[in-house]
């Protein structure tokens, strides 16, 4: 088959693009959201800039007769059914978007591989076609979007709601970013909300953003005061007051782009994606080769996979362009499941744990236990373990979670770059005070949200406000708090891992892990090592 390559798609790698924090009624109601106009401006700023990542999405070919001539947008327009476009709050959002005429064109570019599937699912459920535009408001169709409220994917699910609607979240895979699974979950949730609010889609959308409990309380409050209970009359959080008008403004732009001076590219009204059942774990680099795609192209269509391979526990399926599905399925048949990932033979060293070995090979303890028939966590020094490993250098999996994090952490920013190794008891709040920066900044620099849990041993990049990694004029961290700094050490004649570890008061295992020394027993003079040391413990070293 002739190789195919994708039209340009831009995705921000740094995380936060205005999101909805929707929650089930049984969960706690979030704080009143802040005004997210600034978040929307971030979309426009990014869209006006060069793409962070470019990938080629080949046009799909369909043998089915299309009910509309060529353009998928014509099909979308024909399904519009909501009112409220003439409201003053919608007009305000419309005016904003019109000041950024390239916005819609760039979103169309990103939506190209996903929109046909979403439109078809919306039609199949008999929902208004405005729902197909909701990812524009939620994420600007950026599949790797992650908000300060811990919402992820084009539909911006938070973890609890995602679990309730069956979206699996593991180290290997996050269903919130899976285009197929998250679309099904989002539409199911929206249908439920629409039924809850007696067919009022504006109230259903408000509940998707703020939580049904928030909207229910606003309705009861208006009822008690003898006031109307339609969406426009409710006292809701500011973000939710803007949320529906923002969607209706997008709908108006899509309905008449020329009238509003908006550039907007055509999207073929043809199937784009096909799901291929793989049946087992597979290295994504191998899968890309078998499908005649680049690794980046495969990640763009399968953004739910976090690592170098699919989840060993499933889902065992991959999404590929429809033109590549047949060749992928055919090539896949020639590769037995046992050969779809590479395997390394690891000799257990004294004192090693399964967790340390898992981190070294970028896998999990449960995978090591299953592949080696280990019950519990006890392993014997001198024994050998079989470990699944990636077939390519980690940098080639550029859209994996690890590489997206590395790229974000390495972006140049104002301040002095500090690598902080998380210690037990560290919190975002404590680190923000120590280094003189905001909690949300630290989270954003590390592809996290402020509510995420910090793990001991985790490395955070912090752009501190002075050369000492502390706010100017601050007396530094509290007594007893570690100050972890990254150190580059040049190996000298006679050095050993044990001697260096003793000198800097770190462990040999950490030295090996920090420097990928899994199979290296001897050091060479002049060799460069990276260490993460507590500077308070280095006197007399």
Active site residues: 138
- How many other β-carbons are positioned within 10 Å of the β-carbon of residue 334? 8
Question: At residue 62, what are phi and psi to the nearest 5 degrees?
Answer: -120, 140
Distance CA 257, CA 250 (A): 10
Q: Which residue has the tokens 């929109």?
A: 115
Distance CA 124, CA 117 (A): 11
DSSP string spanning 405-433? HHHHHTS--SSEEEEEE--TT--HHHHHH
Distance CA 518, CA 506 (A): 17
Distance CA 422, CA 498 (A): 23
- How many other β-carbons are positioned within 10 Å of the β-carbon of residue 27? 14
Closest by alpha carbon to 481, among 430, 432, 437?
Answer: 430
Q: Are strands 484-490 and 317-321 parallel, antiparallel or unpaired?
A: unpaired
Return all residues near 447 (Cβ < 8 A) that are at least 6 apart. 13, 14, 15, 146, 401, 404, 405, 408
Distance CA 72, CA 178 (A): 22
Distance CA 303, CA 292 (A): 18
User: How far are the Cα atoms of 277, 309, 337, 387, 433 from residue 342, in angstroms, in the given order?
Assistant: 20, 11, 11, 8, 45
Element of type H or E holding 384: strand 384-389
Q: How many CA atoms lie within 13 A of 534 on its CB side?
A: 12
- Yes or no: say if 3 and 292 are a contact pair by the CB < 8 Å rule: yes
Distance CA 58, CA 403 (A): 25
Q: Which residue has the tokens 């912090």?
A: 462
Q: What is the DSSP letter of 174?
A: B
Distance CA 208, CA 30 (A): 12
Supply the Cα-derived Rg of the chain in whole angstroms. 26
Distance, CA of 42 to chain centre: 17
User: How far are the Cα atoms of 84, 206, 300, 331, 349 from residue 54, in angstroms, in the given order?
Assistant: 37, 34, 10, 26, 43
Distance CA 94, CA 132 (A): 18
* 315 upstream amide cis, omega within 30 of 0: yes
Distance CA 509, CA 81 (A): 62
């Amino acid at each position: 088959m002739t190789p195919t390559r994708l039209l340009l798609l831009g995705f921000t790698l740094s995380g936060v693009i205005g999101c909805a924090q929707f929650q089930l009624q049984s969960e706690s109601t979030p704080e009143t959201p802040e005004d997210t106009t600034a978040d929307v401006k971030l979309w426009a700023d990014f869209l006006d800039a060069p793409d962070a990542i470019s990938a080629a999405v080949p046009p799909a070919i369909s043998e089915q007769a299309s009910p509309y001539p060529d353009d998928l947008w014509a099909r979308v327009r024909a399904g519009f059914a909501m009112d409220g476009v003439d409201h003053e709050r919608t007009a305000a959002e419309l005016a904003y978007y019109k000041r950024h005429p390239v916005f819609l064109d760039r979103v169309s570019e990103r939506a190209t591989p996903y929109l046909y599937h979403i439109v078809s699912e919306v039609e199949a459920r008999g929902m208004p076609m405005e729902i197909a535009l909701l990812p524009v408001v939620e994420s600007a169709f950026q599949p790797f979007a992650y908000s300060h409220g811990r919402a992820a994917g084009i539909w911006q699910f938070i973890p609890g709601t995602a679990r309730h609607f069956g979206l699996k979240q593991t180290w290997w895979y996050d269903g919130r970013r899976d285009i197929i699974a998250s679309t099904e979950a989002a539409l199911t949730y929206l249908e439920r909300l629409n039924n809850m609010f007696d067919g009022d889609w504006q109230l259903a959308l408000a509940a998707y953003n703020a939580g049904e409990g928030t909207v229910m309380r606003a309705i009861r409050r208006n009822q008690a005061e003898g006031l109307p209970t339609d969406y426009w009359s409710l006292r809701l959080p500011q973000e939710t007051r803007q949320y529906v008008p923002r969607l209706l403004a997008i709908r108006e732009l899509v309905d008449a782009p020329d009238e509003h001076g908006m550039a907007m590219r055509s999207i073929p009204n043809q199937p784009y994606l096909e799901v291929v059942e793989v049946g087992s774990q597979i290295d994504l680099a191998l899968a890309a080769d078998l499908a005649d795609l680049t690794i980046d192209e495969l990640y763009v269509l399968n953004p739910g996979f976090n690592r170098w391979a699919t989840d060993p526990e499933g889902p065992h399926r991959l999404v590929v362009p429809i033109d590549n599905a047949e060749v992928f399925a055919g090539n896949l048949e020639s590769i037995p499941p046992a050969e779809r990932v590479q395997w390394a033979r690891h000799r257990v060293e004294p004192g090693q744990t399964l967790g340390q070995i898992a981190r070294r090979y970028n896998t999990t303890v449960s995978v090591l236990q299953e592949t080696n028939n280990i019950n519990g966590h006890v392993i014997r020094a001198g024994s050998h373990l079989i470990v699944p490993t990636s077939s390519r250098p980690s940098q080639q999996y550029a859209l994996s979670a690890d590489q997206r994090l590395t790229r974000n952490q390495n972006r140049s920013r104002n301040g002095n770059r500090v690598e902080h190794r998380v210690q037990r008891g560290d919190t975002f709040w404590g680190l923000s005070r120590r280094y003189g920066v905001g909690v949300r900044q630290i989270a954003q620099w590390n592809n996290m949200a402020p509510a995420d849990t910090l793990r001991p041993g985790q490395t955070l990049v912090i752009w501190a406000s002075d050369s000492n990694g502390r706010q100017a004029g601050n007396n530094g961290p509290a007594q007893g708090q570690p100050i972890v700094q990254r150190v580059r050490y040049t190996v000298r004649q006679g050095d050993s891992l044990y001697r260096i570890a003793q000198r800097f008061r770190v462990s040999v295992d950490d030295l090996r892990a920090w420097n990928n020394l899994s199979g290296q027993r001897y050091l060479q003079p002049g060799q460069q090592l990276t260490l993460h040391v507590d500077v308070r413990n280095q006197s007399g070293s």
